[in-house]
A and B are shown apart, each in its own frame.
Chain A
Amino acid sequence: MKIEGSHVFNGPREAVWEMFYDPNVLTSALPGAQKVEQVSENEYKFDMNVRVGPVSGAFSGGMTLEDAVEPEKVTIKGGGKGAPGFLDGVGNVRFVEQDDGTTLMEYDGEVNIGGALASVGQRMIDSVSKSMIKTGFATLDKALAARLAAKETGEEVKFEAPTETEFAKEVAKDMVGGVTSSAEVKLVLYIVPLILILVLLSFLFGR
């Protein structure tokens, strides 16, 4: 399936780029990520727990980064598999400076999801992913604000990532209320590709 989406970060491109240097920030936005390790310059391996509706389990995979132009864009190819199924995908991420000083993050790609994730999880995947993306970006927005504030005052960054439980609570709330549309979502968005992209980004910037 094709994926496409965007998000506006309330800060300059460099600050956004820099934020991704901090793996703690990203893992906080990505509950379930267990371990990420760099295998070679442009190659990573990760382990994470995936839960989509009744489908859950350990998931491990790898990815490579191609055509990175700091701090503008990068192409990510990767995939993973585990008990819940598998994922193969390619994604392009771009950061665009906006006139109002904000940064537009755009991403698009194509993802193939298989196994129980597809055959059982698919009916949940859409709403779960929309909600997780919403909550994930909200966390990143807060993290960015905290970083910018700290920069201004020269103080230490005051940001506490939400716990996995808090995160799950937010997602559950959305599930009950029904996330019908989200400003960030242009087309169909899926959680796994997003996680893939964000995990990749965290390590692209974390190098």
Chain B
Amino acid sequence: MAEKNVQKSLKRNEDPRLLVGKTTFIDDIDLPGMLHVAIKRSDYSHGRIVKLDVEEARKLPGVVAIYTAEDLGDYWRPGPLQVPPPTAIKGSVFHARPLECIAKNKVRFSGEPVAVVVAESRYIAEDALDHIILDVETLDYVGDLEKAIEPGAALIHEDLDSNLAADVVQEVGSWEKAVAEADLVVKRRLEVNRVAGGAMENRGFVAQWDENLQVLNCWATTQGPIPMRNSIANYLGLMENQVRLMNPAIGGGFGPKIMSSQIDDVVIPWIAIKLKRPVKWFEDRRENFLGTTSERDQVHYAEIALKKDGTILGVKDVMYHNTGAYNPYGMTVPLNTQTHTVSNYRVPNFFTEIKMVFTNQMVVTPVRGAGRSQGVFVMERLLDAAAKELGMDVVEIRRKNILSPEEFPLRTGVIGQDFVEGVLDNGNYPAALEKTVETIGYEKFKSEIQPKLRAEGKNVGIGICMFTEGTAVGPYEGAKVMVGVTGKVTVFTAYSNQGQGHYTTFAQVAADQLGVNVKDINVVIGDTGQWQWGVGAFASRGMTLVGTAIHNASLKVRQKALGLASKVLNTPEDELEMQDGVVRVADMPEKFVTLGELAQRSNPTRGTVEEGMEPGLEAASYYGPPHGATGYGCLGMIISVDAETAKPKIERLVMTDDCGTPVNPMIVDGQLHGGLQMGIGEAFYENLVYDDYGQLLSASFMDYLFPQASDMPDKFEINHMVTPSPLNPLGIKGVGEAGVIATPACFMQALEDALNIKGMEIVESSISPSKLYHYMEKAKSA
């Protein structure tokens, strides 16, 4: 039996070229005659455009053209919704207001594009921006999620009656019944802050019209090459194959790069065709903060009904979800919140309502965690509050209510982002809880260590939080696997890679079926000219969906190779084995045929073939799950706080995670580390702050703080559990978001435990030393 590659921590195929700088990122692309774009963005958050004068800017030497919404003529139209409305949910209300590529008549957020400058160089293009005059009649800024939908609030979309973008209610059982039977109902108002994706590389787009072939070549940092290509073709009235969209190497995505129908992919291709010259736009960092979507920002009115012994009877959550000025991404984020609120626990009655609100802020679309963090934050904080009221231990109340392995698969009754009822496929949640509790030494910490530290005047606390990670949702992904005449293999996908290691993990999956070295497998990702079916990188779905498609396609290729080799070697298929790039007779290793030769033979150039023959040692396959696969885990943190400066330090961090079969455990660890770093950032450093007029105040890395390596705990202590998902042959679940989800909830729980001030409860997902200090002072003086 050949040695397997899946579940091995192989070093990444892509790293040598990344480490020596031999990779092309979008800003490295330099085409002859290329023009450069700079985007004029509105400084105003809400107003009617009174005057937009670009004449002075046009006169600047080196400026080739300037386009406003008016200049686009009939080409200007609001983009399609990228995610459809939640019609699967009965009674749902959704007012679709997709993005406008360039603002026309009205600006709805600070940073909204109003004009595009095309110039011989980026310097000139940026200089020209200063000469564009934008006059607006300012309108009241709408930013407060609750006030936004009160009567009398300024309307962001004036054809609507209010700023309510959507209202979706889902109820399982009866919350009223839960309250009637409850000994205790705990209510809290909880806030989740707003954070950026903050990828190392910003967004970019290059377009080149090939007049001869009538093909538009595009390079984009998108996470969804196929949908973006389709959107471009649709806008321009081209056939899909006339648009070849390619991903260069991409320096991180984290969600916002999934967006299309924005100024980059709508207007830049149009300009490239109109001017018949290549055009490049690359976003700078301030522009990224202002012009790229971001997420979180919800206000929750949450309640939990319990019996005296801590048994949960029901949960009610009414959330205000900020969608920003438009809602092109449908309800993915708040639906994720709904599906992740009670997902770890037995909650017989659950009422959840989304009030999605338009504001004069950047559009909200998924950022790593995408709604899941909010749901988990709400539930974990409710449990902590309930535990306090009941005088229970925080771990005990979780033990009491946690779902047991026998309950799976569990239909949740809540419809999720994929518009089907959620099903928790499998897992052992209590084991994850106990593993974290044991590794971090919870009992000993509470009974021995903490009392001793407190006696020494030290504030050190512990937090234990559960989470689930809904991953690997549909609709589908596809892949083609091809053996070449050299015997090497190419795996074609139209997925998108932002650093997840697909060049290695996808190869590992194919290698196991084809018996070739992982290094001899070339993975093509994000090139619609080479493979053109797929959806995109979101919801931690790549490894599961594309990986399964590759697995299935590889099996087909394997069958084809064995069939062909059987004839060549005159040996029955079941006596053959595939290993080391050859098909050989199992007990006569000297009798073999190479995969390269089989590839050659599968494409005869003279003679005749059998009827029904399909050329090439290649096969395609597609995979779409009936519903997502759910990963889960438990996070534990020990945090110390300096009582004078209110500065916390993470002393220990223990995470137990189950993402089914880990294709490459090293890469899984990398995903967990990155997610945890992002979660720590969210809890303590990162914050998108708008002022009272809708100006984004933290639009640079001076003010938007990223946690540094030195802010991390000395090590991440990771426990792995492996419960293969029953949904796909390899048993894979996603893991891209696991680390980020429970971190803010666990952080706050540990801080409260560290400070041990009666009545001090942190009701927001982001804290800073000054905020924490105020919490402490307020609780002390109460």
Partner-B contacts on A (CB < 8 A)? 1, 57-58, 81-83, 85-86, 88, 112-116, 118-120, 122-123
Q: Is the CB of B703 within 8 A of A114?
A: no
Q: How far is the CA of A115 from the CA of B129 in the complex (A)?
A: 13
The segment from B164-172, B679-687, B694-702 found at the interface with A is B694-702
Contacts of B703 in A (CB 8 A): 122-123
Would you list the 9 A-B pairs with minimal beta carbon distance, nearest first? A119-B699, A115-B43, A118-B695, A83-B130, A114-B43, A112-B693, A120-B700, A114-B695, A119-B696
A140 to chain B, nearest CB (A): 30
Given contacts A114-B110, A114-B693, contact A119 B44 (CB under 8 A): no
Which of A82, A85, A115, A123 counts the most B-chain CB atoms under 10 A from its CB? A115
Contacts of A113 in B (CB 8 A): 693, 695
A194 to chain B, nearest CB (A): 19
> Is the C-beta of B591 less than 8 angstroms from some C-beta in chain A?
no
> Is the C-beta of B602 less than 8 angstroms from some C-beta in chain A?
no
Given contacts A85-B43, A86-B44, contact A119 B697 (CB under 8 A): yes
Given contacts A88-B138, A114-B693, A123-B702, contact A82 B130 (CB under 8 A): yes
Given contacts A85-B43, A88-B138, contact A118 B691 (CB under 8 A): yes
Mind listing 7 A-B residue pairs with CB under 8 Å? Answer: A82-B130, A88-B138, A112-B693, A118-B691, A119-B110, A119-B290, A119-B699
Q: Is the CB of B697 within 8 A of A118?
A: yes
Contacts of B44 in A (CB 8 A): 86, 114
Q: How far is the CA of A112 from the CA of B692 in the complex (A)?
A: 9
Contacts of B695 in A (CB 8 A): 112-115, 118-119
Q: Is the CB of B699 within 8 A of A120?
A: yes
> Is the C-beta of B442 less than 8 angstroms from some C-beta in chain A?
no
B703 to chain A, nearest CB (A): 5
Contacts of B696 in A (CB 8 A): 118-119
Given contacts A1-B691, A1-B692, A83-B130, contact A119 B286 (CB under 8 A): yes
What residue of chain A has the Cβ atom nearest to residue B127's Cβ? Answer: A83
> Is the C-beta of B45 less than 8 angstroms from some C-beta in chain A?
yes
> Is the C-beta of B538 less than 8 angstroms from some C-beta in chain A?
no
B100 to chain A, nearest CB (A): 20
B505 to chain A, nearest CB (A): 39
> Is the C-beta of B358 less than 8 angstroms from some C-beta in chain A?
no
What residue of chain B has the Cβ atom nearest to residue A113's Cβ? Answer: B695
What residue of chain A has the Cβ atom nearest to residue B44's Cβ? Answer: A114
What residue of chain A has the Cβ atom nearest to residue B130's Cβ? Answer: A83
Hey, what's the 0/1 contact readout for B120-139 against A, CB within 8 Å counting as 1? 00000000011000000010
> Is the C-beta of B350 less than 8 angstroms from some C-beta in chain A?
no
What residue of chain A has the Cβ atom nearest to residue B135's Cβ? Answer: A81
A1 to chain B, nearest CB (A): 7
B52 to chain A, nearest CB (A): 13
Q: Is the CB of B700 within 8 A of A119?
A: yes
Beta-carbon contacts under 8 Å, B336-363 to A: none
Contacts of A112 in B (CB 8 A): 693, 695
What residue of chain A has the Cβ atom nearest to residue B41's Cβ? Answer: A115
Contacts of A123 in B (CB 8 A): 702-703
> Is the C-beta of B533 less than 8 angstroms from some C-beta in chain A?
no
Contacts of A1 in B (CB 8 A): 691-692
> Is the C-beta of B289 less than 8 angstroms from some C-beta in chain A?
yes
What residue of chain B has the Cβ atom nearest to residue A86's Cβ? Answer: B43
Contacts of B138 in A (CB 8 A): 88
Q: How far is the CA of A71 from the CA of B159 in the complex (A)?
A: 50
B63 to chain A, nearest CB (A): 16
A2 to chain B, nearest CB (A): 10
Which of B138, B695, B696, B699 counts the most A-chain CB atoms under 10 A from its CB? B695
B56 to chain A, nearest CB (A): 12
Contacts of B43 in A (CB 8 A): 81, 85-86, 114-116
What residue of chain B has the Cβ atom nearest to residue A122's Cβ? Answer: B697
Q: How far is the CA of A82 from the CA of B696 in the complex (A)?
A: 18
B697 to chain A, nearest CB (A): 5
Q: How far is the CA of A115 from the CA of B110 in the complex (A)?
A: 8
B638 to chain A, nearest CB (A): 33
B559 to chain A, nearest CB (A): 58
Contacts of B286 in A (CB 8 A): 116, 119-120
Contacts of A82 in B (CB 8 A): 130
B381 to chain A, nearest CB (A): 31
A20 to chain B, nearest CB (A): 30
Beta-carbon contacts under 8 Å, B682-726 to A: 691-693, 695-700, 702-703
Contacts of A58 in B (CB 8 A): 130
Contacts of A120 in B (CB 8 A): 286, 699-700, 702
Contacts of A88 in B (CB 8 A): 138
Which residue of B129, B130, B289, B692 contacts A119 across the interface (Cβ within 8 Å)? B289
Contacts of A115 in B (CB 8 A): 43, 110, 695
Contacts of B698 in A (CB 8 A): 119
What residue of chain A has the Cβ atom nearest to residue B110's Cβ? Answer: A114
Q: Is the CB of B130 within 8 A of A57?
A: yes
B289 to chain A, nearest CB (A): 7
A128 to chain B, nearest CB (A): 14
Q: How far is the CA of A122 from the CA of B289 in the complex (A)?
A: 15
Q: Is the CB of A114 within 8 A of B45?
A: yes
A34 to chain B, nearest CB (A): 15
Q: How far is the CA of A113 from the CA of B700 in the complex (A)?
A: 17
Contacts of B699 in A (CB 8 A): 119-120
Q: How far is the CA of A123 from the CA of B700 in the complex (A)?
A: 10
Contacts of B110 in A (CB 8 A): 114-115, 119
A64 to chain B, nearest CB (A): 17
Q: How far is the CA of A116 from the CA of B110 in the complex (A)?
A: 11
B196 to chain A, nearest CB (A): 13
Q: How far is the CA of A114 from the CA of B47 in the complex (A)?
A: 13
Q: How far is the CA of A88 from the CA of B693 in the complex (A)?
A: 11
Which of A82, A86, A118 counts the most B-chain CB atoms under 10 A from its CB? A118
Q: How far is the CA of A114 from the CA of B696 in the complex (A)?
A: 9
Contacts of B692 in A (CB 8 A): 1
Q: How far is the CA of A190 from the CA of B695 in the complex (A)?
A: 16
B686 to chain A, nearest CB (A): 15
Beta-carbon contacts under 8 Å, B627-642 to A: none
New A-B pairs, 6, CB < 8 Å, besides A112-B693, A114-B110, A118-B695? A86-B44, A112-B695, A115-B43, A115-B695, A119-B289, A122-B703
Contacts of B693 in A (CB 8 A): 112-114
Q: How far is the CA of A83 from the CA of B128 in the complex (A)?
A: 10
